[in-house]
Amino acid sequence: MTTRETAAAALARFDHAWGELDKTVSGLSERELVDIRDPAGWAAKDHLMHVAVWEQALLARLDGRPRYHALGLDASTEGSEDWDALNAKIFAATRQRPAGEVLDSLRGTHTATRACLAALAAGTADAPTAESFVADVGGYADHYDQHRDWIRELVGR
């Protein structure tokens, strides 16, 4: 399969997962986004910011920026696979963001990722890291699904 074909397949999966996440998020009240928290202190908006930040790291791979920079962390975290520690740092750095800003970030990041993926699927873009970017998109679609389910559980839907 070519990068173009795998990008088209990844785009279909990505769009489906986004549609389900967006449908869930669009139905949430401000209270459900902000006030209901799990035992670790995460609200729905924190899950959404987490998804947006990690997706920014995916975009960073495509344009050659360091992952730590996209995650808003310091260089000492580059290459770390201690996901719990990385996620705790991201949560600490972003937990005070208002829901509107979080939603804007999530939607903007998704739009940018989708545009890159669509261009690769259409054959109108190329990048040295396109194959690894496309290969990882499925994991980001799964990420949408995981956090959508956690948000639904959190708000009791």
The domains located in the chain, with CATH, are: 3-155 (1.20.120.450)
pLDDT digits (tens, 9 = 90+) for 36-76: 999 999 999 999 999 999 999 999 988 889 999 999 999 99
Range of lowest pLDDT (25-29, 84-88, 93-97, 123-127) = 123-127
Q: pLDDT at position 3, please?
A: 77
pLDDT-derived band of residue 4, with 50, 70 and 90 as boundaries?
confident
Quote the mean pLDDT of the chain.
92
Q: What average pLDDT does range 26-44 have in this prediction?
A: 95
Q: pLDDT at position 104, please?
A: 97
Residue 131 has pLDDT above 60, yes or no: yes
**3-17 burial string, b = 16+ CB within 10 Å, else e?**
bbebbbebbebbeeb
- Whole-angstrom distance, CA of residue 60 vs CA of residue 51: 14
pTM of the model as a whole: 0.93
- Whole-angstrom distance, CA of residue 147 vs CA of residue 155: 12
Nearest one of 95, 97, 96, 73 to 85, comparing CA atoms: 73
Q: pLDDT at position 1, please?
A: 56
Q: pLDDT at position 124, please?
A: 82
Nearest one of 137, 145, 44, 46 to 88, comparing CA atoms: 46
pLDDT-derived band of residue 101, with 50, 70 and 90 as boundaries?
very high
Q: 66 in helix, strand or coil?
A: coil
Contacting residues for 34 by C-beta, under 8 A, at least 6 apart: 43, 44, 45, 99
Nearest one of 19, 7, 1, 17 to 133, comparing CA atoms: 7
